[in-house]
Amino acid sequence: MTLQTPVSAALISLAVAGVSAPLVMKGLVAIKSRQIISQYIQEHEHKKGTPTMGGIIILIGFLAGCLAGFSQQVLPLLIIAGTFGLVGLADDYIVPKLIPGSRGLHWVPKLGLELGAVVGSCLLVGQTDPIRIAIFTFIVLFMSNAYNFSDGLDGLAGGLGMILCIGLVPLILVQPQVPLHLLVAIAALFAGFLPFLFYNAPPAKVFMGDVGALPIGAVLGWVMATLLLGSAGEGAINWSDLLGGGSIFWPLVILSFVMLVEIVPVPLQIASVKLRNKRLFNFKTPVHHAFQEKGWPETRIVWMFHLVQWACVVLSVGLLALGLGA
């Protein structure tokens, strides 16, 4: 595998996703895949009935690009994308069809299936240390669900995903032995976003859905976990090396800032409502809905989130450069 392989993966992903996009759109309309709008987000009432599961377009491109640059190291990423995609399909379509009125898969089996997919993939790549598997699992589940929460406004999740892909490239390239299979995955994912965003740009003709957001976030999480634990060497984890000033840990944290902001308030808000019967925060969660509640136009919110994510990329790369120069 050479540096030309990620470029080939991106071109193939773009071509396959672009050709399949109109076919996917027709298929979603044919199976009546419609977005269910939460009663708590009245600002989205006009979006009711818009097709969802448009993330299939991205996944098709991603899988095609990865297969074009296939190596044994790419296999866990394909498994992660496939299994998380199936969980998203059950959540978006299968369960609501089988149980009318349901909003999707219950969080317990959903989390269990995600957990099994990550642990199984870790074992597949020969990862047997429980601490390493736990870190891998946490990062993948965090990114998968955080990215899923960001899928709430036209163009928001797609744009954030592309910027995150760009931000991960320098972190991959500085590795002592550049993991080209990660570049293949990121290149294929980045290119797959483009045809999807053509249809998802405001006003959106299709939404990403869990079938896209869950596996995309999981792939981003797997790449981050691989970079982080790869920097910790083999065997027992050296925590000072893993979390030290020159570590890749802090650039990854900064790069993930928007995802942290999106996911952290959600479980806290839910727990407060269930335990105290009142909200912990005086705004809606995920956070992008808080700005809608204040009357911000949707496009302004999306632009702000994208600009913040770009700032995180610049800060992440800057911190990485400072660490390398130390």
Query: What DSSP line would sit under 55-86, residue for residue?
Result: HHHHHHHHHHHHHHT--GGGHHHHHHHHHHHH
**Per-residue pLDDT reduced to its tens digit, 98-151:** 887 677 788 788 888 899 889 988 888 778 888 889 999 999 999 999 999 999
Tokens of 268: 């806290």
Residue 291 lies in a domain: no
Band of pLDDT at residue 208, cut at 50, 70 and 90: very high
Residue 16 lies in a domain: yes
Residue 226 lies in a domain: yes
Residue 126 lies in a domain: yes
**Per-residue pLDDT reduced to its tens digit, 137-171:** 999 999 999 999 999 899 999 999 999 999 999 99
pLDDT computed for residue 195 by the predictor: 97
First to last CA, the chain: 32
What DSSP assignment string belongs to 289-301? Answer: HHHHHTT--HHHH
Question: What percent of the chain has a predicted confidence (pLDDT) above 70?
Answer: 88
CB atoms within 10 A of CB 253: 16
Total domains, the chain: 1
pLDDT computed for residue 286 by the predictor: 83
**Per-residue pLDDT reduced to its tens digit, 212-229:** 999 999 999 999 999 988
pLDDT computed for residue 36 by the predictor: 61
Mean of the per-residue pLDDT values for the chain?
Answer: 86
Name the residue among 188, 196, 199 with its Cα closest to residue 165: 188
Averaged pLDDT, 279-298: 83
d(CA 262, CA 260): 5
Residue 129 lies in a domain: yes
Single pTM value for the model: 0.91
Structural domain boundaries enclosing 184: 4-34+48-232
Residue 140 lies in a domain: yes
Residue 312 lies in a domain: no
d(CA 283, CA 292): 10
Model confidence at 244: pLDDT above 50: yes
Residue 184 lies in a domain: yes
